[in-house]
C-alpha cells in the first residue's frame, strides 16, 4: 500500500498552532514540538535578558526578545525557528514597529541554551544554521560546564570559560560581562 505524503505546514499554520498551546518550530514545513525547559535553563534566560536588556534598552539599540518568538527563515517549505533569546537592532526593526507575527529573517544575536534533553552537537548545528541564515552572532550557553561558545560567520568558534568575558563584538559594541554572571544565582 502506498504511503500518503505528509502535508507540509506553513508559518501561518504554526502561528495558529502556537496560539492553541502547541509549542514548536517548523523545519522545512515539518512541525518539531518543543517541551518546556527546566528551572536552571529559565534562570539563565532571565540572567541574560537582564544583562542584555540593561545595556540595550537605555541606549535604544533595539529589541531583546525571549523564547517563544519565531523567526521565519525560509519559505516554501517554511522554516520558523525560535532561539532562547534574540536581539534585533532598531536599524532592522524600528522600536515603534508592531509586528504580531514572525520576524522574517535571522536576529542580529541568537542565544541558545543547552537543556538536559539537548545534545550539544545539535545546538552546534543550530548555531551554524542561524549563521547560515544571516545572524552575525550566536551564543551557545552550556549550563553544565558553565561555558559559552561564540559563533560568528567565517571565524572559528570561540570557547569561553567562567573566568572569561563575554562581549557583543560588532553586533552589540560596548556590551561585555563576565561569563560567570550568566550563571550566578
The alpha-helical segments, DSSP class H, found in the chain are 11-19, 39-59, 120-132, 179-183
Q: What is the pLDDT of residue 20?
A: 59
Q: What is the pLDDT of residue 80?
A: 95
- What's the CATH superfamily of 38-70+81-183? tt1808, chain A (3.90.1570.10)
Which residue(s) pair with 159 in the sheet? Answer: 149
Domain ranges of the chain: 38-70+81-183
Going by the DSSP 8-state scheme, the letter that residue 106 receives in this structure is -
Q: What is the pLDDT of residue 122?
A: 85
Q: What is the pLDDT of residue 154?
A: 97
Q: What is the pLDDT of residue 7?
A: 82
Q: What is the pLDDT of residue 5?
A: 59
Asked if 162 and 145 touch (Cβ cutoff 8 Å), the reply is: no
Q: What is the pLDDT of residue 54?
A: 97
Q: What is the pLDDT of residue 1?
A: 45
> Which residues of the chain fall short of a pLDDT of 70?
1-5, 18-21
Q: What is the pLDDT of residue 3?
A: 46
83 grid coordinates: 532561539
Phi, psi of 116 (to 5 degrees): -55, -30
Whole-model pTM: value is 0.90
Task: State the residue for C-alpha cell 543547552.
Answer: 114
Average pLDDT over all residues of the chain: 91
Amino acid at each position: 500500500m502506498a504511503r500518503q505524503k505528509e502535508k507540509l505546514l506553513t508559518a501561518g499554520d504554526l502561528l495558529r498552532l502556537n496560539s492553541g498551546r502547541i509549542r514548536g518550530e517548523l523545519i522545512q514545513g515539518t512541525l518539531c514540538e518543543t517541551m518546556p525547559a527546566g528551572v536552571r535553563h529559565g534562570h539563565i534566560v532571565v540572567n541574560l535578558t537582564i544583562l542584555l536588556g540593561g545595556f540595550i534598552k537605555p541606549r535604544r539599540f533595539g529589541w531583546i526578545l525571549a523564547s517563544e518568538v519565531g523567526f521565519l527563515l525560509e519559505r516554501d517549505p517554511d522554516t520558523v525557528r525560535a532561539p532562547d533569546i534574540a536581539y534585533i537592532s532598531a536599524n532592522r526593526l524600528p522600536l515603534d514597529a508592531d509586528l504580531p507575527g514572525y520576524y522574517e529573517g535571522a536576529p542580529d544575536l541568537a542565544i541558545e541554551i543547552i537543556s538536559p534533553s539537548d545534545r550539544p552537537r545539535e545546538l552546534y548545528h543550530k548555531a551554524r544554521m542561524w549563521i547560515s541564515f544571516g545572524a552575525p552572532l550566536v551564543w551557545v550557553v552550556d549550563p553544565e560546564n558553565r561555558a559559552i561558545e561564540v559563533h560568528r560567520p567565517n571565524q572559528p568558534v570561540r570557547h569561553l570559560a567562567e573566568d572569561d568575558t563575554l562581549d557583543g563584538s560588532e553586533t552589540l559594541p560596548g556590551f561585555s560581562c563576565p561569563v560567570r554572571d550568566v550563571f550566578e544565582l
